[in-house]
Chain A
Amino acid sequence: MAEEVKLFRTWSSPFSLRIVWALKIKGVEYETIFEDLYDKSPSLLQYNPAHKKIPILVHSGKPIAESYVILEYIDETWKETPLLPEDPYERAMARFWAKFGDDKVLTSIVWGVFIKEGKEQEEAMVEAMKNLWLLEEELRGKKFFGGERIGFLDLALGWLANFISILEDVAGLKIVDEDKFPLLSAWMKDFADSPIIKDNWPPRDKMIAKFQALRDEKLAAAAAASK
């Protein structure tokens, strides 16, 4: 019996990419619905009324939202190529670091360093470096965060492997220096070039344009607010 799997996503969201990767790694066939967040579809609003956000996975008509919730659902529903480790302590570590990735790493890099300049950016950079250093330590002795192969935490942090170079190009600064972060740099390369992952990055030129526009908008708003 064919199960209907639909993914509501945007072309650029790093949270959506996690789900694309997970579904493809597990060999799950699905339909993609691209959303315009400035003109959300009635389906999006119906499937995620609490947050009105993507990604949303709809499996046989039943919606699931929040990327980490969706990843765990995918892992429990399609059991081949497990994403989370088996051991409860290792699972707790993966979940802890995934939360750290979103709450601290992404926040400090995108909403800290990337959209700021001058002294504010320098201060944000100190915070971002501390957070990246913790990830560097976490990789010690491992090829991927999941060990020998890609796992839940690699998918959670995977956005770094592509987005960092885009943010660096647009903001004109280095965030992940290969000399300072040899393990993280190697992981970013290995992850970005992995089968499935390498075929699903969003188009670079569109990403550069999008993030340039975001940085311009945020810097302009900050300048206006300080007047």
Chain B
Amino acid sequence: MSKEEVVLLDFWASPFCGRVKIALAEKGVEYEHREEDVLGSKSELLLNSNPIHKKVPVLLHNGKPVCESTVIVNYIDEAWPSPPLLPTCPYERARARFWGDFIDKKIFEGGAKIWGSKGEALEVGKKDFIEILKQLEGTLGEKDFFCGDNFGFVDILLIPLTTWFYAYEKFGGFKVEDECPKFSVWVKRCMQRESVAKALPEPEKVYEAVVMLRKMNGIE
């Protein structure tokens, strides 16, 4: 029996699961990966481990479940302290947590207003989404990563969400690269990291899944 048992309940298209996979890879933590059929039938283990939300990702560490992707990423950082995902100085840590919270509140929901609507509502959604990306672009500034020279917490929370951007671009008729070029450079920089490239799905595959979601929600 290995001394640390780490299991991840996962769904391939979920950007929230992507965050956890990247964090574990950055820390060099070995884990067992279990794919959940989230649109079909969820496993007993998932329903028992996350009875409140019944969602992925769930990280099980020696049998104890941790739920909610941002809580999980913080947990991974604290349970395996090296290399650190957050800066050392309290103010910079607060800045990182603030932008992590901003990303949690704005990006996925903002994107849903594009793929989940049409006509005027879609146009408004697109405009708002681009505004949000511009705010993030502003906070990134001239830095390589959101907290400076090192890939870390904020990058980990955000980069998986960008795998859904291709779908938003197709439905919204825009390109992130044209609207926010510096943001696109950051995306490419992150995608060069092995931990990121291995964890994330192809945006084209995500697009196919979103097309299906759109039909299921009766939007066409």
Using a CB–CB cutoff of 8 Å, the interface residues on chain A facing chain B are 50-51, 59, 62, 64-66, 68-70, 72-73, 76-77, 88-89, 91-92, 95-96, 99-100, 134
Contacts and interface: CB of A to CB of B under 8 A. Distances in A.
Given A50-B102, A66-B101, A72-B97, A92 B91 contact: no
A65 B68 contact: no
B71 A96 contact: yes
Given A91-B75, A96-B68, A96-B71, A73 B90 contact: yes
A62 B135 contact: no
Interface string B89-122: 0110111011001100000000000000000000
Most chain-B CB neighbours within 10 Å: which of A66, A70, A92, A134?
A: A92
Q: Is the interface of B mostly helix, strand, loop or mixed?
A: helix
Contacts of A134: 52
Q: Size class of B's contact patch?
A: 20 to 34
Nearest to A94: B71
B52 A76 contact: no
Contacts of B94: 64, 69-70, 72-73
Contacts of B74: 91-92, 95
Main secondary structure on A side of the interface with B:
helix
Contact of A88 (B68, B75, B90, B93): B75
Given A95-B71, A134-B52, A89 B64 contact: yes
A81 to B, nearest CB: 16
B56 interface: no
Given A92-B66, A96-B66, A77 B98 contact: no
Given A64-B94, A76-B90, A100-B52, A50 B135 contact: yes
A168 to B, nearest CB: 25
Nearest to A62: B91
Contacts of B93: 72-73, 76
B159 to A, nearest CB: 20
B72 interface: yes
B3 to A, nearest CB: 16
A88 B98 contact: no
B175 interface: no
B71 A99 contact: yes
Contacts of B61: 89
B72 A69 contact: no
A64 B61 CA distance: 32
Nearest to B139: A50
A77 B52 CA distance: 33
B49 to A, nearest CB: 12
B78 interface: yes
Nearest to A76: B90
Contacts of A59: 91
A70 B101 CA distance: 12
Nearest to A92: B75
B39 interface: no
Contacts of A92: 66, 71-72, 74-75, 78
Nearest to B67: A96
Nearest to A59: B91
Contact of B97 (A69, A89, A99): A69
A95 B61 CA distance: 17
A89 B75 contact: yes
